[in-house]
Amino acid sequence: MDNRPIGFFDSGLGGISVLGEALQQMPNEDFVYFGDTLHIPYGDKPPAEVLRYTHEAVSRLIALNCKAIVLACNTATSVAAGELRQELEMPIIGMEPALKPASLLKGDGAVLVLATHVTLTQPKFHSLMHQYGKDAVPIPCPGLMECVEAGELEGERVESLLHSLLSPYLDQPIKSVVLGCTHYVFLRDTIARFFSENVALIDGNAGTVRQLGRRLSQSGLLSGKSGGTVTFLSSMEDEETLQHMQKMFMLCNDHT
Ligand code: DGL
């Protein structure tokens, strides 16, 4: 048993959607969430820069005595997870666009994969496409995470951006939509309005948290106490950003 906290990391607010799921599945753990708000967006940056920021963030969480790290960010995972796992012995849990569960769904039509430019151009995604991407259509979504960071989960700006991103693909049969960036999970309801009811919107949050639980249990690292805490940190280090994080966290508890 190990009562040290679990470190969560994302470029900004997106990973809070994964944290919300973790709290449901693991109510007896303490969590420290670090958002690298100062350096958003990761998805349009050179991978070497994302790698450096991810290393810095993970070092920060290790210095806070975290027993495991969740890269609650598809972009950071695709660039940095391999290297971090080689360097560190602690569990490093990453995320990938949920192509595998999407490929298991019955029915015909395209699987639209919404993710950042960096995620969609890394070797990790190419090998995912090779295995599970028969019907997948990758769609980079520049500007979308910024709407979430600004708290715009619906309304004119985000809807017209989604319209311009999605409309080239809407004239074909669509089976499912993969939310391949943790920020986009907060836009689920707004994105769903562009599709008919039978189109499934799939994210990797629950699967990632199940994987975290398995890894902690295999390594004897689950907490032995009852109840847990959540601490938010941001590289912006200002009260407003921390309050915004709390607000997004409440929102995702309301949804579950
Ligand atoms: N939330 C992130 C992801 O899952 C990255 C968003 C960004 O910083 O561009 O990919």
User: Which domain CATH number covers 160?
Assistant: 3.40.50.1860
Pocket test for ligand 1, best of 13, 33, 42, 178 (most atoms within 8 A of CB): 42
**Domain identity same for 33 and 105:** no
> Are 185 and 149 in a shared domain?
yes
| Domain count along the chain | 2
| pLDDT for the residue numbered 255 | 57
Assign 237 a pLDDT band (cuts: 50, 70, 90): confident
CA of 119 to the centre of ligand 1 (A): 8
Q: Copy the structure tokens of residue 45.
A: 């940056």
Residues lining ligand 1, CB < 6 A?
10-11, 14, 40-43, 73-75, 116, 119, 145, 181-183
Q: Is the pTM of this model over 0.85?
A: yes
Give yes or no: residues 133 and 171 share one domain. yes
147 assigned to active site: no
- Domain assignment present for residue 128? The answer is yes
Residue 181 appears among annotated catalytic residues: yes
**Which pair of structure tokens corresponds to residue 70?**
């969740």
Question: Is residue 256's pLDDT more than 90?
Answer: no
Both 182 and 131 in one domain: the answer is yes
Best of 36, 75, 124, 236 to mutate for ligand 1, by most ligand atoms within 8 A of CB? 75
Residues 136, 190, single domain; the answer is yes
Q: Dump the DSSP string for 168-222.
A: GGTTS-EEEEEE-SGGGGGGHHHHHTTS-TTSEEE-SHHHHHHHHHHHHHHTT-S
Distance 180 CA to ligand 1 centre (A): 9
Asked whether residue 1 is assigned to any structural domain, the reply reads: no
pLDDT class for 90, splitting at 50, 70, 90?
A: very high
Q: State whether 186 and 211 are in the same domain.
A: no
193 domain-assigned: yes
Chain segment 116-162, per-residue pLDDT in tens = 999 999 999 999 999 999 999 999 999 999 999 999 999 999 999 99
Domain that holds residue 145: 99-202
Task: Give the pLDDT band of residue 101 (cuts 50, 70, 90).
Answer: very high
